Structure 1
Amino acid sequence: MMSVANGVAAASAKEPMFSFGVIADVQYADIPDGRSFLGVPRYYRHSISVLQRAVNRWNKHGNIKFSINFGDIIDGYCPKDKSLSAVQKVLDEFNVFDGPTYHMFGNHCLYNLPRSKLVSLLKMPTHSDRAYYDFSPCPEFRIVVLDAYDFSCLGWPHDHPVTAAATKLLDEKNPNTDKNSPDGLVGVDRRFVKFNGAVGEEQLSWLNDVLQDASTLHQNVIICSHLPMDPGASSPAALMWNYDEVMAIVHRYNCVKACFAGHDHKGGHSVDSHGVHHRTLEAALECPPGTSAFGHVEVYPDRLLLVGSDRMANTEIHF
């Protein structure tokens, strides 16, 4: 019995290999509080206080290696002549954090500034204007950051081929005059709205190569995306347009253990048919003054532990 107990103890590490901070949908704007189209209160000025508390907590923890911001750094209602200064104000808060922060696009980012400008501002570790990338915090793990608006009506110039192709797809899938409305669409077809987007063909090919490489190296993978990729962890209207294509690639391999996302502000958690966990993070924007939604993920050889603040639920993921 003793040898079995010792074996279990050895397999279940006490100290994490590394930890990283997480926050989603800050959507800061220097405007009065408002409501979502569903009537949920939004606290545009307070959200930066949530971020400040997050950074303070991460720094005090002392063992948070990096942080990931899951997109929508500022809000679509931010006055457009203030977009640049608002982004900079939020980035200044992230810069107080003792480690690097990895960013991704959300729809609200693209309402404010073009893609090329955001790649530069957010210091994305890419070799071009593309906004997807991967990195390894330790040899056993790889983090993949997707660009969920690679194929979308947002962020590209009006005369760009992607804009034309995405607009055509949306016209085919959504008969509403207001393309941000899912009215009349049923089930997961409600995702075909303008505030969502897709992973393009080149990025799909890149993702397959990354996962193939990770499998060869026996790495576990965590995928991060602004848009959720499992109906069990999200409202249908918040899903990535081609989540099924992305997950078909993920399910070819056994290396992806969890997919984290933002966008659907209420949060969610599911385990898909292949055992991959999907965790949608609660939004900083919808925290009443004095409350917070952020956390950090402790990474172990056999599990992930999301340690949340008061409005972000703790989640344990075993693999």
Structure 2
Amino acid sequence: MMAVTNGGVVHASSREPLFSFGVIADVQYADIPDGRSFLGVPRYYRHSISVLQRAVNSWNKQQNIKFSINFGDIIDGYCPKDKSLWAVQKVLDEFEKFDGPTYHMFGNHCLYNLPRSKLVSLLKMPTNSDRAYYDFSPCPEYRFVVLDAYDFSALGWPRDHPVTAEAMKFLDEKNPNTDKNSPDGLVGVDRRFVMFNGAVGKEQLLWLNDVLHNASLCGQNVIICSHLPMDPGSASFAALMWNYDEVMAVVHQYKCVKACIAGHDHTGGHSLDSHGVHHRTLEAALECPPGTSAFGHIKVYPDKLLLVGSDKMADTEMCFEL
């Protein structure tokens, strides 16, 4: 499900954007030989960091990229656990070469390797606690919301933590398979009830509502960023956030949200939901053969977003009503 532009063509704009920002998803670096996904898709664990290096070089050369956003999974679950910290730091060192701030979020592979509390610190998340969701405003017209898609999940919390127990109980009710990472036998969007996905918790939902309410009062457009996609049209059913419907019910109460951008589903996708919100799932850096890339930058205008991709990341124009 490749992303497409409106009408199949990205139109050049005569106007200068308000700002631009870099995007990359699912680097999933590991110092191990190439492998394949459970679907047989080749994965290039060592090469993926080269994709990130090319992304940073590209963003720096343009000199007008205000910040970058990493959509999670900076290292892979197959990374040897005694090398997890080293691998995360190696990837972060490459992000540090970008001439601007990078905003990070958790992916499931991050949580296979390190606990949440350690990652919040390593990723320098701009929060006042161990929580991994936050918002920021790069200009008066726009606000970005970064969700923690694994706030309620069986990943990253200590084994004896109440959230772990509650999430496992939830999975047992939704997924009868012994292997909770398997969607076998689940139908339609119920295929999302697997352990490698997660949900936005109740406290975070209340926080999101407050942020969107305030953004509406300020007349701001909002871009929501999440590792997990939140629209069935933009990703495979097995890649969706557990409670994407609850999150979008909050989002659809307001007209300020213009786009939801995600990673996780490596083939990428684009959809426009019934309320006019764009959903763009980004293609993965991990699945780029040597010499190819998947990253991009998004030009932000008052009435549209223009994703300019490289190689495997498709260009996408996302127009919206003011």
- Taking the aligned partners of 2:19 and 2:162, their CA distance within structure 1 comes to 41
Provide the residue aligned with 2:20 in structure 1: 19
Please state how far the C-alpha of 1:152 moved relative to its aligned partner.
Answer: 0.0
- Taking the aligned partners of 2:168 and 2:209, their CA distance within structure 1 comes to 26
* Structure 1 gap segments, 5+ residues each: 1-11
- Taking the aligned partners of 1:265 and 1:314, their CA distance within structure 2 comes to 16
Provide the residue aligned with 2:317 in structure 1: 316
- Taking the aligned partners of 1:278 and 1:13, their CA distance within structure 2 comes to 25
Contact 1:179/1:194 (<8 A) preserved:
yes
- Taking the aligned partners of 2:88 and 2:158, their CA distance within structure 1 comes to 20
RMSD, matched Cα: 0.6
Q: What letter corresponds to residue 17 of structure 1 in structure 2?
A: L
Contact 1:13/1:300 (<8 A) preserved:
no
- Taking the aligned partners of 1:104 and 1:185, their CA distance within structure 2 comes to 28
Provide the residue aligned with 1:144 in structure 2: 145
* Structure 2 gap segments, 5+ residues each: 1-12
Q: How does 1:92-241 map to 2 (within 5 A)?
A: 92-241=93-242
- Taking the aligned partners of 2:162 and 2:140, their CA distance within structure 1 comes to 39
Contact 1:233/1:278 (<8 A) preserved:
yes
Provide the residue aligned with 1:8 in structure 2: none
Please state how far the C-alpha of 1:200 moved relative to its aligned partner.
Answer: 0.1
- Taking the aligned partners of 2:156 and 2:130, their CA distance within structure 1 comes to 12
- Taking the aligned partners of 2:311 and 2:259, their CA distance within structure 1 comes to 22
Provide the residue aligned with 2:251 in structure 1: 250
Pair member with larger Rg = 1
Structure 1 runs (4+) greater than 2 angstroms displaced: none
Q: What letter corresponds to residue 64 of structure 1 in structure 2?
A: I
Give me the identity figure in percent: 87
Q: Normalized against structure 1, the TM-score is what?
A: 0.96
Contact 1:153/1:163 (<8 A) preserved:
yes
Provide the residue aligned with 1:307 in structure 2: 308
Provide the residue aligned with 2:266 in structure 1: 265
Please state how far the C-alpha of 1:178 moved relative to its aligned partner.
Answer: 0.2
- Taking the aligned partners of 1:74 and 1:254, their CA distance within structure 2 comes to 35
- Taking the aligned partners of 1:310 and 1:81, their CA distance within structure 2 comes to 33
| Superimposed CA distance per residue, residues 287-306 of structure 1 (whole angstroms, 9 cap, x where no aligned partner) | 00000000000000111000
Q: Normalized against structure 2, the TM-score is what?
A: 0.95
Confirm or deny that 1:80 pairs with 2:81.
Answer: yes
- Taking the aligned partners of 1:157 and 1:127, their CA distance within structure 2 comes to 21
Number of corresponding residues:
308
Please state how far the C-alpha of 1:13 moved relative to its aligned partner.
Answer: 6.7
Provide the residue aligned with 2:3 in structure 1: none
- Taking the aligned partners of 1:49 and 1:310, their CA distance within structure 2 comes to 14
Q: What letter corresponds to residue 307 of structure 1 in structure 2?
A: V
Q: What letter corresponds to residue 276 of structure 2 in structure 1?
A: G
